[in-house]
Structure 1
Amino acid sequence: MYLSPNNTTFLLILISISMLMNHSNCIPTYNYHVCRDPILENASNSDIFQSELTSLLEILSLAASSKSFYNASISKRLYGLFLCRGDVSAKTCKKCTGIASQEIKSKCVWNSSGVIWYDECMVRYSKENFFGVAKTSPLAFVWNTNDKNRTSPSETHLNAQALMYPLIQDASSRKRRFKLGKSTVCDGSERYGLAQCTRDINKSSCISCLTHLMNKSGQCCQHKVGWRLLAPSCYIRYEKDIFYGDTTGPLISPNTQKPVLPTKDNGKRVQKLLIFHMIIPITSCLLFYLIWSSTQLRKGPQQGEGLTDVIQGMNVTHEDNKGEVQYFSLSTIKVATNSFSDDNKLGEGGFGPVFKGKLSNGKEIAVKRLSFKSRQGIEEFKNEMTLIAKLQHKNLVRILGCCIDRNEKLLVYEYMANTGLDAFLFDQNKCVNLDWPKREKIINGIARGLSYLHEDSRLKIIHRDLKASNVLLDEDMNPKISDFGTARIFYSDQIEGTTEKVVGTYGYMAPEYALEGSFSVKSDVYSFGVLMLEILSGRKNINFYQPESRDQTLTLIAYAWRLWNDGKEQEFLDRLLVKACPIDVALRWIHIGLLCVQERPKDRPTMSSVILMLASSTSLPQPLAPPFSLSNYYDNTSDQSSTTEEEEDDDIEFQPSSAKTKSNDT
């Protein structure tokens, strides 16, 4: 049949429209390619090399009809492989490998090694035998070019770490060296991930390869909501939109075969089979591909502004992030803590036990292992990691990293030689070590740490759970505020927040927070006041018991108020301090503590004002009565039936009353 030029043009238009409708099924998504080791054009063996490369790529293309991974060599002079993404169909794998083979031959025609990556497959060749050797160089990364919001300040890299590290472990353990997965982030949206290695490398090499890529992702991909890192032996991908699930045909057999050494006879057979199995089915796709590539692939790395040059020279180690939150493997933590042995246990709080550990470089660490029953969910866990990482103050504990592995959630802190303040303050033997200078330093340090959180850090932060056990002491007895799992951030001019889920500790919560769910910087001031009175008296506000008192529900705060009104505040001081401290300063500090625990938030001073009061001798305002109405609430024997088995130590979680009333009972 004769086709006129007009008819031919019309036919091409029809074909192009048809191909546009099926573009995603025909054209694989090109990512990047690298050509290395150039050969001379006039070299005597150039023709031989080109012939052998053609034969090798034909073998790989043919194998893609039934395999998802295949490696082959030509006369032990040229080695190559292809790898298709583990979830794509045989049809997609075959198309991708065929096009990738043609493209790499075209782009790397004068190079003795090359690798090309598509979303659906990769093809690699070299004159060096690379089978069984994990290679992470050259390394390239691509980020999502289709999303208008390619980056987001709220997209913490911890989301990627929490998803990708378990995938890395699973992928390396599987025969196909491939694993997909998804997770839910704090805003309720999903994130999707992929980890895959070529199947010529073993498990340990696969783990090493994928972990290396994750280390690099921390440098290239912070705050990006979609990215992938591509290496010759492995690659990883992280997206906010689902990208896998090609079901247009049956999945490919995961089996591999030994390298094929072709002869002259089977070389001709390969060419004939290629014509039948490849050329005819993809002719229409190649037609559109020529049209499409002339306008798109020609743009190279500029397409979509998402492709960068090959990453080189970024020397980082897995467990040395120079101040950033880092990821520790579970195996590393187990070795450091002797598999969480009781001998290494430092203590236990509401969210789980804390263990001492030592890393391979000799650095001592403290590991908080969140219990399986812990109410601290993934949101609070990530909150604590990201929050502390942004805070830099000598009176705040420094977090080193974390580990998320299936049911395990671990936080790794700098080790504090003297553990928590409560271990000294409320121990009959250790309390003698807390002389007046040390208590003075501890109170001032806590005040400075809180003032930094409220006024001097980049973000206004409300701790919401300040107590003796959350103040850690270093080897010089310097205090550091810890445990930011329940902390909240205030932005701009915000001065108050409310919540229906009150989380805190008996005896330290301000009345407006405990009863109404309202919190502010003044809530922390109240907690500081309680803690300050505990340090001065050496007694717990919780379970406070005064044998000579007729009121057995009297709190430590109420006791301090009574003695202060009676002019007997010296009786409130710890007996160890009475003859070993400047009495006038100690009594003044009791006064400051009572100012901090006044019932109404507006009557309490700010922490910056508290610091000035502690450092000066100026006159102080008279304190108003503290909230005695909470004495029954604080009493440990008042209502234990409302707690659950998950409520450990003194931490509580309850729904506040909706009634905005306060008792005036004094």
Structure 2
Amino acid sequence: MLFPFLCSLVFFYSNVVVCIQYNFLRHIECDNTSNYTSNSTFSTNLAQALNTLQSSTATTGFNTTTAGNLIEPVTALALCRGSSSPSTCQSCIAEASSGIRSSCPSQKSAQVWYDLCMVRYSSTNFISKPNNNIVFFVHWEAPVATSDLDSYSQRVEYLLRNLSSTAVSSEKRYAVGRTELLNLTGYGYVDCTRDISSEDCRTCLVSAMEATKGCCLTKPVSWMLTPTCNFQFNTDPAHLDWLNAPLVKYEWEAAVAPSTVGSGGGNCLAIKFLLGGAVLTVILVIGVLWVVVAKARKRGKVKTDSSGNAEEMWKKECIGTRPFLYDLDQLAVATNQFSPSNRLGRGGFGTVYKD
């Protein structure tokens, strides 16, 4: 891989995986727009803020603090990887606090990322103010070795979108998982700093997802950082929490609409109903049109025939006889003045007499 992420050595023996975990400095951001001196009030406040982070972050894995109040204040934040133990978290924060001061010895604003934690400080208060600017990303240059890169990238995107949705609704604002990638297994991790809202976390992760789509969905390794969220993917279980991470099952139905992660089954059912209704409607319309056209043709035929000889029309209709018309006097004579003795019966259209 591009570099060892967390586990530099993995042993497989008797179905037991042993991972030796290291904590390396991965990226440092030093803002050179404003500086301080070693003996200044800001330096003293910075030391106090970092000491607070070291002593109070491990329990929950996250902490913010402000030192100095109105005089050269320092706002600081620390975040550990969501699955880190308190002892691992405290050790990482201590190392990061030392590292950020040595890497940015005079800058009033800086941020540092290690494998297992992140520390940030500034002379301005940034708490609860999301920053979605991508400050660092790394990926393996060559695409993954597979014959179906489209399917691979769809599955990677589905995994990361699923984890993003989980992280947004999580109290700790992080999610870890794995998924099957054809002949490989993919591992993902996302998190947000816990000072921002769920919606701000979602926005940050969506922004990182879009950037990932533009460069890295076909890669075996990618890692993208912003000041408030973190996006990681690897085809190797380089972190301890990836070894037994929850399996995220790839669902084609859900992947059709990635903006609604986790609701693929319901979407598919709704689509089936809509398609079925559309097909039925088309069939009904065609049937109605066929009946209307057939009746119109029949009316057209009768009209054409009626314009000719009436007797010929009757013959065509198999009546075979010429219709006769009688006046009232003829009918009276024929029925003996409508005598009851000549009556044959009565129906819905009147009385019937014999001649």
TM bracket (short chain): 0.5 to 0.7
**Higher RCO structure (Cα 8 Å, ≥6 apart):** 2
Secondary structure (helix, strand or coil) at the match of 1:238 reads strand
1:430–1:199 CA distance, 2 compared to 1 (3 A): farther
**Superposition pairs of residues 6-25 of structure 1, within 5 angstroms:** 24-25=20-21
Counterpart contact for 2:161–2:258, Cα < 8 Å: no
1:429 aligns to what? Answer: 288
TM-score by length of 1: 0.35
1:204 aligns to what? Answer: 199
Alignment match of 1:63 (pick from 46, 56, 60)? 56
1:50 aligns to what? Answer: 43
Range 124-133 or range 90-99, more displaced = 90-99
2:148 aligns to what? Answer: 154
Alignment match of 1:178 (pick from 174, 179, 187)? 174
Secondary structure (helix, strand or coil) at the match of 2:40 reads helix
1-structure distance, mates of 2:289, 2:160? 45
Aligned: 1:235 with 2:94: no
Query: Alpha-carbon deviations, 1:458-496, whole Å to 9, x = none?
Result: xxxxxxxxxxxxxxxxxxxxxxxxxxxxxxxxxxxxxxx
Counterpart contact for 1:138–1:231, Cα < 8 Å: yes
State the Cα RMSD in Å. 4.1
Counterpart contact for 1:68–1:85, Cα < 8 Å: yes
1:203–1:407 CA distance, 2 compared to 1 (3 A): closer
Counterpart contact for 2:157–2:217, Cα < 8 Å: no
1-structure distance, mates of 2:260, 2:285? 34
1:53–1:191 CA distance, 2 compared to 1 (3 A): same
Aligned: 1:105 with 2:101: yes
Secondary structure (helix, strand or coil) at the match of 2:28 reads strand
1-structure distance, mates of 2:147, 2:29? 32
Aligned: 1:88 with 2:81: no
2-structure distance, mates of 1:432, 1:108? 84
Greater strand content: 2
1:243–1:157 CA distance, 2 compared to 1 (3 A): same
Secondary structure (helix, strand or coil) at the match of 1:101 reads helix
Counterpart contact for 2:167–2:191, Cα < 8 Å: yes
Letter of the 2:41 partner, please give it. I
Query: Alpha-carbon deviations, 1:98-117, whole Å to 9, x = none?
Result: 12111211222232111111
Query: Alpha-carbon deviations, 1:35-74, whole Å to 9, x = none?
Result: 1143356x7x972222222222222122244341111111
1:120–1:421 CA distance, 2 compared to 1 (3 A): same
Counterpart contact for 2:108–2:122, Cα < 8 Å: yes
Aligned: 1:408 with 2:288: no
1:23–1:59 CA distance, 2 compared to 1 (3 A): farther
2:245 aligns to what? Answer: none
Secondary structure (helix, strand or coil) at the match of 2:286 reads coil
Report how far residue 226 of structure 1 moved. Answer: 2.0
2-structure distance, mates of 1:219, 1:125? 30
Report how far residue 139 of structure 1 moved. Answer: 2.8
Specify every segment of 5 or more residues in structure 2 that has no aligned partner in the other structure, as ranges: 1-8, 11-17, 243-249, 298-355
TM-score by length of 2: 0.62
Q: Which has the higher Rg, Structure 1 or Structure 2? A: 2
2:115 aligns to what? Answer: 119
Provide the aligned length of Structure 1 versus Structure 2. Answer: 264
Secondary structure (helix, strand or coil) at the match of 1:170 reads helix
2-structure distance, mates of 1:408, 1:381? 3
Secondary structure (helix, strand or coil) at the match of 1:428 reads helix
1:420–1:36 CA distance, 2 compared to 1 (3 A): farther
**Superposition pairs of residues 556-575 of structure 1, within 5 angstroms:** none
**Superposition pairs of residues 143-292 of structure 1, within 5 angstroms:** 143=139, 154-155=148-149, 156-185=152-181, 187=182, 189-245=184-240
Letter of the 2:204 partner, please give it. C
1-structure distance, mates of 2:283, 2:43? 77
2:305 aligns to what? Answer: none
1:403–1:208 CA distance, 2 compared to 1 (3 A): closer
Counterpart contact for 2:74–2:123, Cα < 8 Å: yes
1-structure distance, mates of 2:26, 2:289? 63
**Superposition pairs of residues 655-666 of structure 1, within 5 angstroms:** none
Specify every segment of 5 or more residues in structure 1 that has no aligned partner in the other structure, as ranges: 1-19, 248-376, 386-400, 434-574, 576-666
Alignment match of 2:65 (pick from 39, 50, 72)? 72
Letter of the 1:47 partner, please give it. S
2-structure distance, mates of 1:208, 1:61? 29
1:84–1:128 CA distance, 2 compared to 1 (3 A): same
1:424–1:53 CA distance, 2 compared to 1 (3 A): same
Report how far residue 423 of structure 1 moved. Answer: 2.4
2-structure distance, mates of 1:431, 1:113? 77
Identity of aligned residues (%): 25
Report how far residue 151 of structure 1 moved. Answer: 6.8
Counterpart contact for 1:424–1:430, Cα < 8 Å: no
Query: Alpha-carbon deviations, 1:186-243, whole Å to 9, x = none?
Result: x253222222111111222222222221121111213112212111111121222223
Counterpart contact for 1:35–1:113, Cα < 8 Å: yes
Letter of the 1:174 partner, please give it. S
Secondary structure (helix, strand or coil) at the match of 2:287 reads coil
1:116–1:24 CA distance, 2 compared to 1 (3 A): farther
Secondary structure (helix, strand or coil) at the match of 2:210 reads helix
